[in-house]
């Protein structure tokens, strides 16, 4: 179940970024991120109706640390797309979002078989094929910088949730998104950017938040059920983002990226079987 919840979380993150990308083009990164993170917090809070829980300070603290990571990760990723291309940014994000949570899970004592280790390696190679298989984008230096910041943020954000108790329900996700929202509001005020999107873009940001909140809760459920598979499949959202970019935004997908997708699926299967 951990692998399934992680995979569904990656799918939800991809959907969230799809709406976020569309909104950021129209009104800017920070305004969309503020609404998205706020709505995500409400969505995670709503999940408490189905997930009876007892919040504890350690679990809320992990959620808050995760929120700092996710706030930085989302703003840096969308900001990087405005200055460079996904071809430059995504490889860095993909690598760090797999390596950091996986390393934390293993360091925390999660059992890893040889098959699972091979699966992680194959999936990571597949991610690199997917995210580097396009044409060389513009803004290489800026893309690498923003990609590194985003990857570190997302990686820490995912890893911080490892170790939350099953009794916490979705409270860590609520704390995560509240902190991410507040952090984004502060960033918007510092750079004097609009805090709220206008017109129809608000609905785009709203849907980004709904999927973002669902993603956080699914990831929590995954790592609480089986931490190692969930840590891997929950970090596969860059592959989802590339696929969505192809079918929704018309991004070009090359044969090497299709090969990469096959490697990702093979690697994930190895992790699950291991």
The 3-class SS string of 144-212 reads: HHHHHHHHHHHHHHHHHCCCCCHHHCCHHHHHHHHHHHHHHHHHHHHCCCCCCCCCCHHHHHHHHHHHH
Q: Average pLDDT in the 15-35 region?
A: 88
Q: Considering the domain boundaries, does residue 122 fall inside one? A: no
Using CA atoms, how far residue 183 sits from 5, 63, 68, 111, 115, in Å, is: 27, 14, 7, 35, 40
pLDDT confidence of residue 137 = 52
Angle at 157 between CA 151 and CA 163, to 5 degrees: 135
Q: Is 166:220 a contact under the CB 8 Å cutoff?
A: no
Q: What's the burial of 250, exposed, middle or buried (CB within 10 Å: 0-12/13-18/19+)?
A: exposed
pLDDT confidence of residue 35 = 94
Q: How far apart are CA 83 and CA 153, in angstroms?
A: 18
Q: Which residues contact 22 (CB under 8 A, 6 or more apart)?
A: 204
Q: Considering the domain boundaries, does residue 244 fall inside one? A: no
Q: At what angle do helices 140-160 and 57-83 cross, to 10 degrees?
A: 160
Closest by Cα among 152, 162, 179 to 219: 162
Q: Considering the domain boundaries, does residue 207 fall inside one? A: yes
Q: Considering the domain boundaries, does residue 93 fall inside one? A: yes
CA atoms within 13 A on the CB side of 17: 32
pLDDT confidence of residue 158 = 92
Block residue for tokens 């189905």: 50
pLDDT confidence of residue 139 = 66
pLDDT confidence of residue 134 = 57
Task: Write out pLDDT tens, residues 207-241.
Answer: 999 999 999 999 999 999 999 889 888 888 877 87
Q: Considering the domain boundaries, does residue 89 fall inside one? A: yes
Please report which confidence band the pLDDT of residue 25 belongs to, taking 50, 70 and 90 as the band edges: confident
Q: Considering the domain boundaries, does residue 263 fall inside one? A: no
pLDDT confidence of residue 135 = 54
Please report which confidence band the pLDDT of residue 22 belongs to, taking 50, 70 and 90 as the band edges: confident
Percent of the chain with pLDDT over 70: 94
pLDDT confidence of residue 87 = 65
Q: Considering the domain boundaries, does residue 17 fall inside one? A: yes
- Most distant CA atoms of the chain, gap in Å: 52
| Confidence check: pLDDT of 154 > 80 | yes
Task: Write out pLDDT tens, residues 166-193.
Answer: 899 999 999 999 999 999 999 889 888 8
Domain count, the chain: 1
Q: Considering the domain boundaries, does residue 270 fall inside one? A: no
| Confidence check: pLDDT of 136 > 60 | no
Task: Write out pLDDT tens, residues 56-110.
Answer: 999 999 999 999 998 898 788 878 877 876 667 777 787 788 889 988 988 988 8
Using CA atoms, how far residue 138 sits from 24, 133, 144, 195, 237, in Å, is: 19, 15, 11, 28, 23
Domain that holds residue 155: 2-112+138-231
| Coil/strand/helix, residue 200 | coil
| Coil/strand/helix, residue 226 | coil
């Amino acid at each position: 179940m951990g692998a399934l919840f992680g995979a569904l979380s990656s799918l939800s993150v991809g959907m969230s970024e799809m709406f976020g990308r569309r909104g950021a083009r129209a009104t800017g990164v920070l305004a969309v991120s503020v609404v998205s993170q706020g709505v995500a917090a409400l969505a995670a809070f709503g999940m408490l109706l189905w997930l009876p829980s007892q919040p504890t300070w350690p679990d809320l603290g992990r959620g808050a640390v995760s929120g700092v990571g996710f706030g930085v990760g989302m703003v840096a990723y969308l900001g990087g797309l405005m200055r460079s291309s996904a071809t430059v940014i995504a490889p860095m994000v993909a690598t760090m979002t797999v390596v950091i949570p996986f390393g934390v899970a293993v360091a925390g004592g999660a059992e890893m078989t040889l098959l699972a280790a091979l699966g992680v390696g194959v999936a990571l190679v597949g991610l690199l094929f997917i995210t580097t298989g396009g044409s060389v984008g513009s803004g290489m230096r800026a893309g690498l910088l923003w990609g590194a910041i985003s990857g570190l943020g997302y990686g820490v954000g995912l890893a911080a949730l490892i170790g939350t108790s099953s009794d916490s329900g979705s409270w860590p996700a609520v704390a995560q998104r509240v902190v991410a929202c507040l952090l984004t509001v502060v960033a918007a005020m510092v750079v004097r950017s609009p805090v709220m999107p206008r017109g129809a873009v608000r609905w785009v940001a709203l849907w980004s938040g709904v999927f973002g909140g669902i993603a956080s809760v699914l990831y929590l459920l995954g790592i609480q059920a089986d931490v190692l598979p969930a840590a891997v499949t929950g970090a596969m959202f860059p592959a989802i983002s590339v696929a969505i970019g192809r079918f929704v935004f018309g991004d070009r997908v090359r044969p090497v990226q299709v090969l990469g997708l096959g490697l990702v699926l093979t690697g994930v299967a190895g992790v699950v079987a291991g």
